[in-house]
Structures are given as C-alpha cells and as structure tokens.
Structure 1
Amino acid sequence: MNPLEIFRYAFEALRERRTRSILTILMVLIGAALMTALNGMNAGMENFVLSSFSSLSPNSLIVVPGTSSVTLDAHDVTLLKKVSGVDDAVPFIQGAAILHSGVKTLRVMVAGFDQSKINLLYPTAELEEGSFISPYDSTGMVLGSKIAMPPGETRPFAWVGKVVTAEYKHTSIEPSGQIKREAVKRSFVVKGVLKYTGAPGFANVDRSALVSLQAANSLFKRGSHYDGIIVITASTDLNSKVEKEILKLYSGNVMVISPKAIVQVIEKTMAGFTTFTVSIAMVSLMVAAVGIITTLFTSVMERTREIGLLKALGFKNWHVLVMFLSEALIVGIIGGSLGLVAGYFGAHLLLMRPVQFSHSAALIQPLFEVEGLVFVWLFTLAISLLAGFYPAWRASKLNPVEALRKE
C-alpha cells in the first residue's frame, strides 16, 4: 500500500467518526485562530505606535524637571542652547482644559510654544487651513484635526474665525495653608486648523489646541515657568552625548526623554506582551493536543480488531504507524488552515471599532506577515503529529493474533 492510499484510508477513518473528529479539529482550530489573531493584533498595535512616534523629530530631546523643587525658565533655555551639539531649545507649557465652542464642549490638551518652530518638533505638521500664530499673539489658537472635527461627528466643533473659550481649573495653596480653587477662562480666536499628523510627542497635536507660550502661561498661571524644554540636536548621532551633557549640567535633577528611547521601551514592552498573549494561545493548542491523543487512543481501542486484520493481510508496523499519524496530520491540516482564516477575520472583527487612548481614539489595522502565518500553520501541524505519535506507535505494536481475538 502506497502512502497516498494510507492517507486516504486515514481520512475515511476520520469520516466514520465524524462528530469526534469535528470536535478535535475544532480544538485545533481555536488554538491556531488565537495564535493568528493575537499575533496580527499585536503586530498591528506595535506598528501603529511606532509609526506614530516616527512622525516626531528624531533629533529632539524633551527636558523636564526631575523633582517638584526644580523649575525651568528662560535662563534654562539660554543655558541649554549653549550645550555643545544643540541647535535650538524650544520651551513649552501644556495642560488639560475644557474648550467651549458655542454650546459644545471638549476636554483637550492645550499646548503653548513658539509655532514658528513647529516643524522642528513635528516635521510632518501641516496646516489644513488658516495660519500659525506669532509668539506674541495672546488670543490666537490653532486646532488639531480631531478637535476641529471630532471623530464620529458630522459638523465641525470649530473653524477658522470661530471664537472659543478655554477653561482651566487652577488650584493653589494660600500662605495660610488653605487650598484655593478658581476657574480661569480665556477667549481665543481660531487662526488655523492642522492636518492629521498622527504624532504623539509632548502633546498629541491632533487632539490639542495650540497657543503661544505667553497665552499658555496666562491660562495655566505658570508664573513664567515652563513644563519642559525641547532640545533640538544637530544630529541624531549626538543625542546620547547631548543627553549626558544635560544630565551633568543639572546634576541629574532633570529627566531627558528621547523618541528613540521611547520607541525602544515600546518595542520591549510589546515583545513581552506578545510573548504573554501567544503563550495563552499555545496553552489552547496544548489542550487541542490532549484532544488528539484522546481521540486517537479511543480510535485505537475501538479498532483493535481492525488493526489485527490489517496486519494479517500484510500491513507492516510502519503502515499502521503512518496511518494513525496521517489521521493526526489531517486534523492538524484542517484545524490549522481553518484557524488561520478564522484568526485573520477575527482580528479584523475585533479591531473594527476605534481603540480608545485617553483623549483620543484610533483605528488600528491588524498586521499579518507571511512568515508568521506559515509558522503558526507549521507549529499546529507539529503539535498534531507529536500528539498523535504515541497512540500511533501503540497501534503499530499491537500483536495481530491478540488483536483478532478482541471482540
């Protein structure tokens, strides 16, 4: 009997025990589908986050106070500009505020900085309409794309020429120790609307309202202190050197954050998360392997007399071994193939709705690579064959005389 005939015989044996075979295939399908879907969703998430940070200037470093006792002001900007390898230093002030436009309200991030230098911070930033504001404009505002037209809305929240009001809840401590809370309100005229950038940075510009530094200082009552300073280096190769110089200059009392470091942390985090989630899917495949072992053992017990008859007719041990391994292989092929399809569509189905990130939402597309799909498929086949080996080996070792005596 040639291998093709053995394979056909194994397929017919599975068909005879249809219900049991379908349930076993279903277990394999679920495991393969989970691995496929989780791999695709994790890769899509990682690709989305990394592509977002790739929109940032690669030669920028964000300097922020390391402790509450440290403050940054205009003197620090001058100091940082003198550091070797630094081309520019851009201070910023930011905070959460409620933006009112007529009867509509939105909770947004308001960021104040010199907008003439926006392309140093966000190289891909472009205006949809209007213009950027000057550093001395205390009433102008530029809106991010998702502020001007919030996702899911059919009418814009605000537009160029529209007057909006920013409201900030300011909290301070009086000399007497009492906590004082007051609502600070400032009116602004929308001067421009940005195109979608997808860049997070120190402020997610797509979900931010951008004003001048002095306007942000007035709204948030910072007293001419900055929340941070963005240092632009002459080259990305100098980032590490400049970072060390800044930390040395401030004796470690500031934190220096770089897009490259953020990306590295994200990559490590996503790698760990992917390992964790795929491990869960592998447990599912292990359960499927137990199902295959149980199914084949039951099949061997039920077909003992049949095995004895086949051996009496000339079947060798390896014929029986291959026959039962073929059953395991067929289960793996069908379950693995259907699992890939189910996982592919399942991942897209699960990510149909935008994923919420604090103040914004994003539509993430699963990412599937051919190598990953092939690995899942081959891994499923390998698990199926390993699970089927021991029952197949036991079947091949049956004594034909004793097997024929079984009723």
Structure 2
Amino acid sequence: MLKFSQALHLSIGSISSYKLRSALTTLGIIIGIAAVVANVSLGASFNQFFVDELGSQGSNFIVIYNEDINLFYDNQLEAIRNTPKVEGVSPIRQQLAGVTYISTIRQIDIQGSSADYEKIGNIQLEAGNFFSDQDKYAAVLGSDVAYEKFDQKISYRNSIDIEFIRRDGTPVEHSFKVIGIIDSPDTTFIQTGAESDVRIFIPINTMNEMLGIEDYGGFSITVEDAESVRPVSDEIDKKIARSLGVSERELDNEDVKPYTIFNQADILDQLDELSTGLTSLFISVALISLIVGSIGIMNIMLVTVTERTKEIGLLRSLGFTRSNILSLFITESIILGLIGGILGTFLGLVGSYAAVTILGLPYIFPMYLFVLGVGIAVGVGLIAGVYPANKASKLDPVDSLRKG
C-alpha cells in the first residue's frame, strides 16, 4: 500500500524534475483562479461602493413626492410625524428659479425644506450652518453653486437674490443671506433626492410664502433604525393613501396613487440585485479562463503519461499497483492545482487592488476568497488529473518498458 507521504514525495520529485512542463501546467490554473478571485473581489467592491454612495444620501430614509399640485398639506405632515419610529420629517419642494449674484443670473434648482433636512439628507457643511425653523430669508448653497455657477465665487455671509415664478405667472423676488456652504457629497452614481452640490436650500415656509401657496411637494423622512424602514414606509403609505381617499387594496397600483414613495431598503435590494448581476457576469468571464486552464492541465498530464511510459512500466515492475499509479498522478495534479491556486489567488488580490485603485472604488477582499481560490484550484487539478491518471494506471508494464 503506497503511503500518502511516499506519493507526495514522488510527486514533488516529478514536478521538480520537469520545471518548465510544471510551470506551463500551472499557468492556465493561475490565470483562471486570478480571474475568479479578482472578479469576486471587484463585485464586493462595487457592492460596497453602492452602499457607501447610498449612505451619503442619508440613513434609514423614506422619500415621498407628489405628481400633482394641492396634494400634501400639514395634515399629512402631522400624520407622518406621529407615526411610530419616525425620527424626523421635512416637507420638501423643488423649483427652478433665477438666482442673481453680482449682476450674474443663473437658473438653479431651489430646494425648500425644514431644519430637519440637515440630518435626514446627511448634509455636511463646509462653512457656516444650516438654517433653523426660525430663519426666514436664509440660504444654504451647494458647493457647485457657490464655486462654479457664477463668474465669482459666493462666500459664506454673501447675499443672493432669488426670483420665483408663481403658478399664475407672476414673478416674485427677494434677497437671501448665505449662511452656509455644503461640502460636496462626492457621489457619482446614486442620487435618491436633492443633489445637494447643485442646489440652493431655503426654508420651505419662506418658499411657499413667496410662491403664494400652502401645499408641499413631498416629504423626506428618517426612521430610528434600518429594520424599521420598510414597515414604517408601509404604514406611512397607508396613512397618506387614506388621507387622499385611496383604498388599501389599491396601494400597489401606481396608476391610482397620485404620489410615489420609496425607501432605503427598496433601493438596497435593487443595488444588491445589480451587484449580484455584476458579480455573476465577472465570475462567468473568469470561469472561461478556469475551464481553459483545466483543459491545459489535462492535456499536459496526458502528454506526461506518454513521456513517462518507461517510468510507469518500471514502477509497475517494482510492485506498484494500478491504484498506486493512479494515486501518484492524482497527487501530482492536486499539487499543481494547489501551487496554481496559491499563486493565482495572490495574483488576483494584486489585480483587484490595482483595478479598484484605478476605478476609485473601496477595496474589499473577503478572506474566504483565499480558501475559495485554493479550493477551486485543487478541485480543478483533481478533476483534470483523473483521466490521465486512470490512463497511466492501465498501461501494461511489459509494453511500457518496451516502448520506453
């Protein structure tokens, strides 16, 4: 009976004796494993990138916006505010307006909100403060508005003029003091609400007063914890629908509801599907390389059987059984797969790091990838080595010595 230690020693000796052949055998598996590991790591990095971008838009949020005017009023606001687990709610309105600074006029989106929006929208200020509910003609500018939109940069404590057009076509203008500049959120993919860097935020009561209206364009809400986002969203949906005369059985009918509601949990689900799809695509491409690598191992191992016919005959004449020969060749294939797996995993780690650095993604390398990469490589080596090993074990010892 051939011991494992003996099979291991003989296999390592064979691999060492044919360094070039062994290197070529492992090359395919190295490339295949590197591709699998790098692509799985890239998928995890993309997923983290999406989560980080979503987090920059606020945490545990729910957003409601209407598709008609004269829809949302204070009674809906109070209904949301009194919903259990709601931590903060801000009525919101968005409208394009003419903004004047030192004789330069630009059309800019104005966001009306309450003071709670600073927390709900995860507003990070570069300078100054966000307005309070007692402020009236105060404005907080996105970084792009402050530094890029006008001929001269707008600084904290400067004044700007904002002109709205009312629903009846009447223009109305007022001067606002800039009390804060918002730091750029650096998001490049996800926008769930107001793009803070290209907008101006003012108190919604002031905005409504200038527009001569009392309704709201929607609501931005934050809840106490992530687990509560979906149930609280469902409860708010029911309350809003009830206040507008929409029955519960029609809550899922978007053609009936005159408003849209979405939440962080729903977006995370969609991002998870997108991330899973990207990862699956990456892995599918990588598996092609892995299949090519396994075929390479099988081909070279088959050539090896032909080259080592005399050696096989000599081993058989010394008393090695078919199972011993089978064990030797399979052990050799596994060792080659193990070497390819370790080198391929390391190469995949380096490759994924280089890729995320170039793409500007967070670097994520789950530790299970090392075990996965090496495990797949050993499995591929085992499977690819079975047929050549079986062929070697069936060679007639007399014919082998004669052919050798």
In structure 1, which of residues 277, 280, 286 is the aligned counterpart of residue 282 of structure 2?
A: 277
Deviation at 1:137, TM superposition (A): 4.9
Report if aligned partners of 1:112, 1:215 keep a CA contact under 8 Å in 2.
no
Once the two structures are TM-superposed, the CA of residue 376 in structure 1 deviates from its matched residue by 2.1
Counterparts of 1:12 and 1:165, CA distance in 2: 83
The runs of 5 or more residues in structure 2 that have no matched partner are 247-256
Which SS does the other structure have where 2:181 is aligned? strand
- Give CA deviations for 1:257-277 in whole Å, capped at 9, x if unaligned: 011111122122212322232
Structure 2 contact 91–219 (Cα < 8 Å) conserved: yes
1:333 aligns with 2:338: yes
State the match for 2:129 in structure 1: 131
Cα separation, partners in 2 of 1:134 and 1:266, compared to 1, 3 Å: same
For residues 384-395 of structure 1, the aligned pairs below 5 Å read 384-395=381-392
Cα distance in 1, alignment partners of residues 206 and 332 from structure 2: 70
Match of 2:235 in 1: 241
Q: Which residue identity lines up with residue 385 of structure 1 in the other structure?
A: L
Query: Residues 2 and 202 from structure 1, CA distance in 2 versus in 1: closer, same or farther, beyond 3 angstroms?
Result: same
Give the structure 2 partner of residue 360 of structure 1. Answer: none
Shift of 1:297: 0.7
The CA RMSD over aligned residues, in Å, is 4.2
Please give the alpha-carbon distance, in whole angstroms, between the structure 2 residues aligned to 1:223 and 1:75.
Answer: 11
Per the TM alignment, residue 14 of structure 1 is displaced from its structure 2 partner at its CA by 3.1
What is the TM-score when the length of structure 2 is the normalising length?
A: 0.75
Between the aligned partners of 1:309 and 1:97, the Cα distance in structure 2 is 91
The answer to whether the 8 Å contact 1:139/1:215 transfers is no
SS at structure 2 position matched to 1:112: strand
Identity %: 23
User: Contact (CA 8 Å) 2:73, 2:215: kept in 1 or not?
Assistant: no
The equivalent residue for 1:114 is 113
1:381 aligns with 2:378: yes
Deviations 1:197-221 (A, max 9, x none): 678541243x343321569979xx9
Residue correspondence of structure 1 range 296-307 to structure 2 within 5 A: 296-307=301-312
**Which amino acid counterpart does residue 125 of structure 2 have in structure 1?**
L
Mapping of residues 3-402 of structure 1, within 5 Å: 3-54=4-55, 60-65=61-66, 70-73=67-70, 75-82=72-79, 85=83, 89-94=89-94, 110=109, 112-122=111-121, 124-133=122-131, 137=136, 140-144=139-143, 159-161=155-157, 190-195=178-183, 200-205=191-196, 207-212=197-202, 228-231=218-221, 236=228, 237-247=231-241, 249-250=243-244, 251=246, 252-353=257-358, 355=359, 363-402=360-399
Q: Secondary structure at the match of 1:113?
A: strand
Partner of 2:253: none
Residue 27 of structure 1 aligns to a residue whose secondary structure is: helix
- Tell me the TM-score normalized by structure 1: 0.75
Task: Verify the 8 A CA contact 1:60 1:232 in the aligned structure 2.
Answer: yes
Change in Cα spacing, 1:109 to 1:31, as seen in structure 2 (3 Å) is farther
Given that residues 35 and 278 in structure 1 are in contact (C-alpha distance below 8 angstroms), is that contact kept between their aligned partners in structure 2? yes
CA distance, structure 1, for counterparts of residue 100 and residue 335 of structure 2: 63
Return the offset for 1:73.
4.4
- 1:301 Cα deviation from its structure 2 partner: 1.5
Once the two structures are superposed, what CA deviation does each residue of 1:164-214 show, in whole Å capped at 9, x if it has no partner? Answer: 89999x9xxx9xxxxxxxxxx999764323356678541243x34332156
Instruction: Quote how far apart the aligned CAs of 1:36 are.
Output: 1.2
SS in structure 2 at match of 1:351: helix
CA 1:340–1:64 in 2, change beyond 3 Å: closer, same or farther? same
SS of alignment partner, residue 132 of structure 1 = coil
> How many matched pairs?
371
Cα distance, 1:337 vs structure 2: 0.9
Q: Does the 8 Å CA contact 1:351/1:364 hold for their aligned counterparts?
A: yes
Deviation larger for 254-263 or 238-247? 238-247
In 2, the alpha carbon distance for the partners of 1:112 and 1:12 equals 74
Distance 1:239 1:212 in 2: 26
On the 8 A contact 1:10/1:327 being kept in 2, the answer is yes
- Consecutive unaligned residues of structure 1, counting only runs of 5 or more, are 151-155, 175-184, 356-362
- Conserved in 2, the CA contact under 8 Å of 1:71 and 1:225? no
Deviations 1:109-167 (A, max 9, x none): 84513251124413x544332122367655733335x77789xxxxx965424678999
Note closer, same or farther for the CA distance 1:248–1:23 as it changes in structure 2 (3 Å cut).
farther
Which residue type is aligned with residue 129 of structure 2?
S
Q: Which amino acid aligns with 1:49?
A: F
CA distance, structure 2, for counterparts of residue 166 and residue 300 of structure 1 = 84
CA offset digits 1:288-309 (Å, max 9, x no partner): 1111111101111121122111
Change in Cα spacing, 1:303 to 1:233, as seen in structure 2 (3 Å) is closer
The one-letter code of the counterpart of 1:203 is A
C-alpha separation between the residues in 2 aligned to 1:383 and 1:158?
63
Q: Structure 1 residues 391, 240: closer, same or farther in 2, change over 3 A?
A: same
CA distance in 1, matches of 2:101, 2:17: 70
